[in-house]
């Protein structure tokens, strides 16, 4: 007897890797877009509500960076124990819970400690999330995928730019407390989504990574260090350090610059800050996809060149709105491109099996840079009475980084 004819299988319309990207975008929307970049908008109302000086508010922000730095050191061990999916979900639970807690605090010590824990949670969410991109996407698609994930940062900035002033007007002196509550609840919702939909590897659902498969290679999944890997890791780390130091100078102080040096209202400054979020939604995916075509080193060099132009415009003639608008546009276009390219570059240069630990290592450089950059800029501004010179120093650093990136070697063809 003939076996029954099987109906043709319909082709898979959506690879699960793109579900990973969608959830990853929400993860970064929460752990950075809401938990970190909203802080620039929260400072004025929170400072008034807590009765703190601006230097104390700066220390609270630094606490977040210190927490992130600690998480970078701990993330590899935590990922080995919990695996990426549970590490991301746990990190977001910590972020959301502590953000809600900040909304109920008084004084300095409690918000400082809680915001430090928010920084730790952000690192536990971000590092394994970007490692998942290397597992789910082959080299030709990694830059685009990482860029889409990082685009979630921009959505968070846009939301904060409008939501924070709205809640501040609605609840007056207690508006900042409502800000922390609402933002924290959103992070908890995303933590649930991460726990439900993230997967640690394509093999868990019977899939191959997205992208054209390469011929099998014994070197593709090597876990041992190859000659020159340490130097490459150091060079990528130094580039990431420059990015961390310079982009947080602009990201921390541009709203203050608009209010103090340009005379903008908080609402108007928030509106222009939301421009950064809008343009940044395309920065990661645009430059990430471009780096898939032209190579990681040229992608990095181009982004650093764009950032140099942004910081130069911010540091030139004060009071020119057109220069400021152009600076904000260029900053937004390129702001999250470096992390997208770096997430792809570690897989290309160092192999898939070492991608997670390598990304954690270079993120240590990034975390150090973002800790010292704003503090140095604050010292310069206090001495000179303006942030112009801090922006010009940032431009000099990113210009040097552009040339340094262009000198990177081509990656091996076995990643």
Task: Tell me the C-alpha distance between 259 and 266, whole Å.
Answer: 7
Task: Tell me the C-alpha distance between 332 and 274, whole Å.
Answer: 9
31: number of Cβ within 10 Å: 32
- Tokens 């730019």 appear where? 161
Alpha helices in 30-108, H assignment, sequence order: 39-50, 54-102
What three-state secondary structure class fits 218?
Answer: coil
Give the C-alpha distances (Å, rounded to integers) separating 179 from 35, 42, 64, 185, 192.
Answer: 11, 8, 17, 10, 21
Extract the tokens encoding 322.
Answer: 């057109």
Alpha helices in 203-335, H assignment, sequence order: 229-260, 266-294, 296-315, 321-334
Task: Tell me the C-alpha distance between 329 and 200, whole Å.
Answer: 36
Q: Is the dihedral of CA 25, 296, 70, 282 positive or negative?
A: negative
| pLDDT in the model for residue 385 | 80
Task: Tell me the C-alpha distance between 238 and 415, whole Å.
Answer: 22
DSSP code, position 203: G
DSSP 242-272: HHHHHHHHHHHHHHHHHHHTS---HHHHHHH
Task: Tell me the C-alpha distance between 71 and 127, whole Å.
Answer: 9
Residues 6+ away with beta carbon under 8 Å from 351: 219, 220, 221, 222, 223, 414, 415
| pLDDT in the model for residue 1 | 44
What three-state secondary structure class fits 210?
Answer: strand
| pLDDT in the model for residue 221 | 46
Extract the tokens encoding 297.
Answer: 């080193």
- Tokens 């900042």 appear where? 176
pTM over the 0.85 mark: no
Extract the tokens encoding 54.
Answer: 């601006």
Q: Are 118 and 103 in contact (CB under 8 A)?
A: no
pLDDT tens string, the chain, 415 residues long: the values are 444 444 444 445 778 888 899 999 999 999 988 998 888 778 778 888 888 776 677 778 778 888 988 888 888 888 888 998 999 999 999 999 999 999 999 888 999 999 999 999 999 998 889 888 888 888 677 777 877 888 788 888 888 878 888 888 888 778 889 999 999 999 999 999 999 999 888 888 777 777 666 554 544 444 455 665 678 888 899 999 999 889 888 887 787 788 777 777 777 877 887 888 788 777 777 787 788 888 888 999 999 999 999 999 988 866 677 788 888 889 988 888 888 788 778 877 777 666 667 777 888 888 888 878 877 887 787 788 888 888 999 999 999 999 999 988 877 655 4
Alpha helices in 137-260, H assignment, sequence order: 139-171, 175-197, 229-260
Task: Tell me the C-alpha distance between 302 and 333, whole Å.
Answer: 12
Backbone angles phi, psi at 210, to 5 degrees: -70, 135
């Amino acid at each position: 007897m003939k076996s029954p004819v099987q109906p043709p299988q319909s082709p898979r319309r959506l690879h699960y890797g793109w579900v990973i990207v969608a959830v990853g975008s929400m993860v970064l929307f929460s752990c950075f877009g809401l938990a970190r970049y909203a802080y620039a908008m929260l400072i004025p109302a929170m400072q008034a509500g807590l009765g703190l000086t601006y230097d104390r508010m700066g220390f609270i922000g630094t606490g977040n960076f210190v927490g992130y730095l600690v998480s970078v050191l701990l993330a590899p061990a935590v990922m080995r124990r919990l695996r990426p999916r549970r590490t991301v979900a746990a990190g977001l639970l910590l972020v959301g819970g502590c953000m809600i807690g900040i909304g109920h605090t008084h004084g300095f010590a409690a918000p400082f400690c809680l915001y430090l824990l928010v920084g730790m949670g952000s690192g536990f969410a971000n590092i394994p999330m970007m490692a998942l991109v290397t597992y789910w996407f082959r080299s030709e698609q990694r830059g685009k995928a990482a860029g889409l994930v990082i685009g979630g940062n921009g959505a968070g900035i846009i939301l904060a730019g409008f939501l924070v002033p709205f809640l501040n007007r609605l609840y007056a002196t207690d508006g900042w407390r409502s800000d922390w509550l609402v933002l924290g609840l959103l992070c908890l919702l995303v933590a649930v989504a991460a726990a439900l939909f993230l997967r640690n590897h394509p093999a868990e659902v019977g899939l191959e990574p997205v992208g054209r498969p390469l011929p099998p290679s014994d070197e593709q999944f090597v876990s041992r260090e190859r000659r020159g890997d340490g130097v490459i890791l150091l060079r990528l780390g130094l580039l990431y350090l420059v990015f961390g130091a310079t982009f947080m100078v602009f990201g921390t102080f541009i709203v203050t610059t608009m209010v103090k040096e340009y005379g903008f209202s908080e609402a108007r400054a928030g509106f222009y800050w939301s421009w950064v979020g809008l343009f940044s939604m395309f920065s990661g995916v645009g430059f990430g996809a471009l780096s898939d075509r032209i190579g990681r080193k040229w992608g990095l060099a181009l982004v650093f060149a764009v950032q140099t132009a942004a910081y130069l415009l911010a540091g030139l003639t004060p009071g020119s709105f057109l220069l400021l608008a152009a600076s904000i546009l260029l900053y937004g276009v390129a702001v999250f491109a470096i992390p997208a390219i770096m997430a792809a570059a570690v897989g290309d240069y160092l192999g898939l099996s070492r991608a997670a630990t390598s990304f954690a290592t270079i993120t240590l450089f990034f975390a150090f840079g973002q800790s010292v950059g704003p503090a140095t800029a604050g010292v310069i501004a206090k001495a000179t009475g303006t942030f112009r010179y801090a922006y010009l120093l940032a431009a000099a650093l990113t210009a040097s980084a552009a040339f340094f990136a262009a000198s990177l070697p081509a990656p091996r063809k076995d990643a």
